[in-house]
Amino acid sequence: MAAKRVVAVFGATGAQGGSVAAALLANGGYTVRAITRDTTKPAALKLKEAGAEVVCADLDNETNVESALTGADSAFVVTNFWEHFNKDKEIEQGKRIADVTKRLGLKHVVYSGLENVKKLTGGKLEVLHFDGKGEVEEYFRAIGVPMTSVRLPSYFENLLTFFRPTKASDGETYNLAIPMGDMLLDGMSVSDLGPVVVSVLKCPAKYIGKDIGLSTDKLLVAQYADIMSKATGKTIKDAKISLDAYRSLGFPGAQELGNMFEFYQMKPVRNVDLTLELNPKAKKFQEWMQQNKDAYKDL
């Protein structure tokens, strides 16, 4: 029997990498090497119990990255801007992984990338957590690593946290404050990423060199609000907040997210048909909302 392909999964204790590790383990055809800085944390122990090799590595340490990738055939790579809010650091981490995958000759890297907005807009708009990933996409390609970029849309899960509706001044209804004007907002559940990545890894010849914009639904903010209202029984409305008002909200990252929504209003490519081809069970928003409505009981 042929040995199973070893797939190294960065961010395996988190949302994206966790979904990828789970899908690879469910497939059964891969040895999953789950990478974390803390092999004793509950998510790492769970991965071990589910059959993953759990290895300790810090993306800031090249020797660590090299030993985590030695012997791997392929890798899923995600870096977390929101841990440090530092574009240069995210670029360093991404380039460090790219260099090591090149040196070790990995056959396929699936990178969680995003557009280089600064470059696309000729410097008019900067979205730091996009621009850094865009530079890393370019770097992977420039040094000749066989790489597919998967560009995620806003996770539906953000509606449980950062974009959770808040009580309106009438004390009864709720506001969904997402500055999209009259434009459609792409979304998907991050839990549906894993099977997408497994499909991509199964067909390297088809997907190496491609940037795949993911989405399972394109909806107006008012449509998100309407689906949330029907599922929760509460009245949730599009707050119709402007980009500038959003940027002025003052929480850490408000400016950055305002800039991101400005870019989303420029309609980056997110392909629903391709996403559903790569993961036919990926949920539309209505289905996700039905499954998650209990999380809004205390709204």
Ligand X SMILES: NC(=O)c1ccc[n+]([C@@H]2O[C@H](COP(=O)([O-])OP(=O)(O)OC[C@H]3O[C@@H](n4cnc5c(N)ncnc54)[C@H](OP(=O)(O)O)[C@@H]3O)[C@@H](O)[C@H]2O)c1
String marking each residue 32-71 x if it binds ligand X according to CB under 6 A: ----xxx-------------------xxx-----------
Dihedral angle computed from the Cα positions of residues 56, 93, 75 and 117, in that order, rounded to the nearest 10 degrees: 150
Helix axes 128-142, 254-264, angle to 10 degrees: 60
Closest residue to ligand X, judged by C-beta, is 14
CB of 282 to ligand X, least distance (A): 15
Among 16, 189, 215, 229, binds ligand X (CB under 6 A): 16
In terms of CB distance, is 60 or 138 closer to ligand X?
60
Listed ranges 69-77, 80-88, 99-107, 272-280: which one lies at the site for ligand X (CB under 6 A): 80-88
Name the packing angle between helices 128-142 and 87-104 (round to 10°).
20
Contact criterion met (CB below 8 Å) for 145 and 167: no
Helix or strand run (H / E) with residue 257: helix 254-264
The pair of three-digit structure tokens given for residue 149, joined into one six-digit string: 């970029």
Size of the site for ligand X (CB under 6 A): 24
| Residue whose CB is less far from ligand X, 76 or 174 | 76
Verify binding: residue 80, ligand X, rule CB under 6 A: yes
Residue 219 interacts with ligand X (CB under 6 A): yes or no: no
Is 38 or 167 the residue whose CB approaches ligand X more closely? 38
Select from 119-127, 149-157, 195-203, 276-284 the region that touches ligand X (CB under 6 A).
149-157
**Close Cβ partners of 264 (under 8 Å, ≥ 6 residues apart):** 154, 180, 183, 185, 186
| Tokens standing for residue 270 | 């997110």
Q: Residue 245 corresponds to which tokens in the numbers above?
A: 């008002």
- Closest separation in Å from C-beta 173 to ligand X: 25
**Does 222 help bind ligand X (rule: CB under 6 A)?**
no
Query: Is 192 in contact with 216 (CB distance < 8 Å)?
Result: yes
**Residue in 121, 158, 235, 265 binding ligand X, rule: CB under 6 A:** 158
CA Rg, the chain, in Å?
19
Instruction: Rule CB under 6 A: say whether 189 interacts with ligand X.
Output: no
Of 13, 191, 216, 259, which one interacts with ligand X (CB under 6 A)?
Answer: 13
By CB under 6 A, residue 134 contacts ligand X: no
Measured from the Cβ of residue 48, the count of other Cβ atoms closer than 10 Å reads 12
Q: Distance (Å, rounded) from C-alpha 44 to C-alpha 12?
A: 8
Q: Is 187 exposed, middle or buried (0-12, 13-18, 19+ CB in 10 A)?
A: buried
**Residue 288 in contact with ligand X, rule: CB under 6 A:** no
Euclidean distance between CA atoms 257 and 292, whole angstroms: 24
Q: Which is nearer to ligand X, 86 or 223 (CB)?
A: 86
149 binds ligand X (CB under 6 A): no
83 binds ligand X (CB under 6 A): yes
In the complex, which residues of this chain contact ligand X (CB under 6 A)? 11-17, 36-38, 58-60, 78-83, 129, 152, 154-155, 158
